[in-house]
């Protein structure tokens, strides 16, 4: 007896995709934390002709960017200040297309001060081309895909939520359709000596009585055995079966072929 095969296969595919996405999410999270730990602080990378958003600390608090200036080791590297508050600043770091490969120090500081050894510095590593730029990162996801690993983590987190929601919907839809046919999932499974004791959502209100023998189905709704009802309540019942029977993760009980006690 195989029912709702298409719905079941779709649910399986969604579950597999969800598991795969979960693995990618875990890998990207680990890569994010490990690379973040290994990367030198206040260090940025670039290659000629690119720009990127940067931020840094200030030695002294300021009211805004009008109070700030910057110094770069080379005119090929410029900073366009965007915002400043207290001891923090934000801006765009721009690398000229003619910039040479090497290391550049950049300092952002209040106009009324003179930079000294305590002035915070940004370390900019300029690479010859994009290939060298990508190969320099500690993050293997950044090296492989060219994107920050946390981007991948955020994307897979969203996909995980979507697949989880879809899987929940498909499972609920399938179980609702099966319930109309008198087929319900096993809610609880407990080992009792040489027998399994199961709990299912068929009870007195469904016509179930003590001693009824009900078909046990596997995940694809194929008969794999029979259970004997040992306790009945209004909306659920408990039944026993031989413990030697191997049950899969998703088993069902059918309200069919019920024999009188």
Contact of 235 with 198, CB cutoff 8 Å: no
Residues 33 and 80 in one domain: no
Residue 260 lies in a domain: no
Residues 195 and 142 in one domain: no
Residues 145 and 30 in one domain: yes
Query: Which one-letter DSSP state was computed for residue 212?
Result: -
pTM assigned to the model: 0.63
Residues 143 and 215 in one domain: no
Could you tell me which of 122, 156, 143 has the C-alpha nearest to residue 43? 122
Residues 123 and 47 in one domain: yes
pLDDT confidence of residue 16: 87
Residues 45 and 153 in one domain: no
Residues 123 and 50 in one domain: yes
Residues 46 and 89 in one domain: yes
Per-residue H/E/C for 8-64: HHHHHHHHHHHHHHHHHHHHHHHHHHHHHHHCCCCEEEECCCCEEEEEEEEEEEECC
- Low-confidence stretches of the chain (pLDDT < 50) are 1-3, 258-261
Contact of 221 with 192, CB cutoff 8 Å: no
Residue pLDDT, tens place only, 48-89 = 999 999 999 999 999 999 999 999 999 999 999 999 999 999
- Supply the range of the domain harboring residue 163: 1-39+137-180
pLDDT confidence of residue 245: 79
Where do the DSSP E strands lie in 96-135? 102-110, 121-126
Residue 145 lies in a domain: yes
Residue with tokens 């016509």: 207
**Domain total in the chain:** 3
Residues 198 and 224 in one domain: yes
Here the CATH number for the domain that contains residue 81 is 2.60.40.10
Residue pLDDT, tens place only, 163-176 = 888 888 887 788 77
Residues 143 and 30 in one domain: yes
Q: What are phi and psi of 60, to 5 degrees?
A: -130, 145
pLDDT confidence of residue 1: 42
> Quick one: CA torsion of 246, 247, 252, 255, rounded to 10 degrees?
30
pLDDT confidence of residue 242: 82
Residues 171 and 122 in one domain: no
Please give the structure tokens belonging to residue 218.
């596997």
pLDDT confidence of residue 6: 60
């Amino acid at each position: 007896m195989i029912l709702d095969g298409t719905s079941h296969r779709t649910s399986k595919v969604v579950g597999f995709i969800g598991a795969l996405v979960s693995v990618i999410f875990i890998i990207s999270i680990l890569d994010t934390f490990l690379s973040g730990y290994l990367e030198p602080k206040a260090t940025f990378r670039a290659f000629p002709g690119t720009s990127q958003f940067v931020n840094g600390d200030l030695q002294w608090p300021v009211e805004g960017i009008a109070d700030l200036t910057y110094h770069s080791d080379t005119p090929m590297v410029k900073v366009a200040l965007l915002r400043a508050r207290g001891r923090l600043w934000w801006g765009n770091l721009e690398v000229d297309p003619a910039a040479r490969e090497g290391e550049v120090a950049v300092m952002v500081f209040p106009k009324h001060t003179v930079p000294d050894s305590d002035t915070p510095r940004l370390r900019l590593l300029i690479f010859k081309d994009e290939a060298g730029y990508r190969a320099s990162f500690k993050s293997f996801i950044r090296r492989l895909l060219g994107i920050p690993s946390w981007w991948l983590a955020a994307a897979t987190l969203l996909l995980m939520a979507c697949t989880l929601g879809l899987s929940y919907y498909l499972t609920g839809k399938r179980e609702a359709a099966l319930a109309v046919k008198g087929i319900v999932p096993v809610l609880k499974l407990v080992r009792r000596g040489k027998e399994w004791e199961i709990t299912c959502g068929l009870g007195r209100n469904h016509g179930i009585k003590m001693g009824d023998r009900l078909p046990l189905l596997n995940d694809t709704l194929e008969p794999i055995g029979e259970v004997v009802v040992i306790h009945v309540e209004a909306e659920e019942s408990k039944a026993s079966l031989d413990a030697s029977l191997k049950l899969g993760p998703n088993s069902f009980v059918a309200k069919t072929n019920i024999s009188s006690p």
